């Protein structure tokens, strides 16, 4: 099975590292859609190009890789794999708290790079799925709150039971080809006026 070709941004202030990474990645069938020499340009390039993955060094001018990774992560643009020549615990801790999904110590070898990329992409996918699920739960909760308010309005105005109020909302939604949510929102809006 052929692996999916990825669109990648590389950020490292050392041109030789960027060149080596580009060669490894392109040889594996990936496309380099942008390069940056500092954290600030890494963030801007990532925003503009919307890559599948960002591979970024920690130690860079203007803005370090950890700060840049945090911005990219907070905006939910792409997964970030950090590269570093440093493995001190405080740097690893900062990286963990920045939303980085994988961490690789230099020198970079294909045998380490590609598994780290897979891990970053897998974690990114899991995070995206969890985020979508959380949004769905929030929407459902909001809908339930609105529906409860709408039932409350109907119960108070028409002296209905909760079950009868819900049945009326459902019937009206079916008759008007609206969702229950749309009908409930309309009832709540009308009650506020």
Residue 171 sits in a domain whose CATH number is 1.10.10.10
* Residue 162 lies in domain: 134-192
> For residue 179, is pLDDT > 80?
yes
The answer to whether residues 94 and 45 belong to one domain is yes
The answer to whether residues 153 and 71 belong to one domain is no
The answer to whether residues 139 and 89 belong to one domain is no
Name the pLDDT band for 101 (thresholds 50, 70, 90). confident
- 99, HSE (Cβ side, Cα atoms, 13 Å): 19
> For residue 92, is pLDDT > 80?
no
| Of 74, 37, 66, 69, nearest in space to 53 by CA | 69
> For residue 3, is pLDDT > 70?
no
Lowest mean pLDDT among 73-77, 86-90, 123-127: 86-90
pLDDT of residue 32: 95
CATH code (residue 100): 3.40.50.2300
> For residue 2, is pLDDT > 60?
no
Total number of domains in the chain: 2
In a domain, 155, yes or no: yes
The answer to whether residues 96 and 51 belong to one domain is yes
Tell me if residue 25 falls in helix, strand or coil: helix
In a domain, 32, yes or no: yes
> For residue 98, is pLDDT > 80?
no
In a domain, 121, yes or no: no
In a domain, 118, yes or no: no
pLDDT digits (tens, 9 = 90+) for 133-149: 988 999 889 989 999 99
Name the pLDDT band for 21 (thresholds 50, 70, 90). very high
In a domain, 172, yes or no: yes
Q: Tell me what percent of the residues of the chain surpass a pLDDT of 70.
A: 92
The answer to whether residues 104 and 12 belong to one domain is yes
The whole-model pTM stands at: 0.69
In a domain, 122, yes or no: no
Whose tokens are 């990286």? That residue is 95
Whose tokens are 């028409």? That residue is 158
> For residue 27, is pLDDT > 90?
yes
In a domain, 127, yes or no: no
52 near 78, Cβ under 8 Å?
A: yes
Most confident of 69-73, 108-112, 123-127: 69-73
The answer to whether residues 49 and 97 belong to one domain is yes
The answer to whether residues 93 and 141 belong to one domain is no
């Amino acid at each position: 099975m052929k692996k999916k070709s990825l669109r990648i941004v590389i950020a490292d202030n050392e041109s030789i590292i960027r060149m080596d990474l580009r060669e490894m990645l392109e040889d594996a069938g990936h496309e380099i859609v942008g390069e940056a020499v500092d954290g600030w340009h890494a963030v801007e390039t990532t925003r503009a190009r919307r890559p599948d993955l960002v591979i970024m060094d920690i130690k860079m001018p203007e803005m370090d890789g950890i700060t840049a990774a945090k911005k990219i992560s907070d905006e939910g643009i792409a997964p970030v794999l950090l590269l570093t020549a440093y493995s001190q615990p405080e740097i690893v801790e900062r990286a963990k708290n920045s939303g980085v999904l994988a961490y690789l110590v230099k020198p970079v070898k294909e045998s380490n790079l590609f598994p780290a990329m897979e891990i970053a992409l897998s974690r990114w996918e899991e995070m995206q799925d969890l985020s979508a699920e959380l949004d769905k739960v929030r929407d459902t909760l909001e809908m339930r709150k609105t529906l409860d308010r709408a039932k409350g309005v109907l119960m108070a105005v028409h002296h209905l039971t909760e079950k009868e109020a819900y049945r009326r909302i459902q019937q009206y939604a079916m008759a008007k080809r609206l969702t229950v949510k749309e009908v409930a929102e309309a009832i709540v809006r009308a009650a506020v006026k």
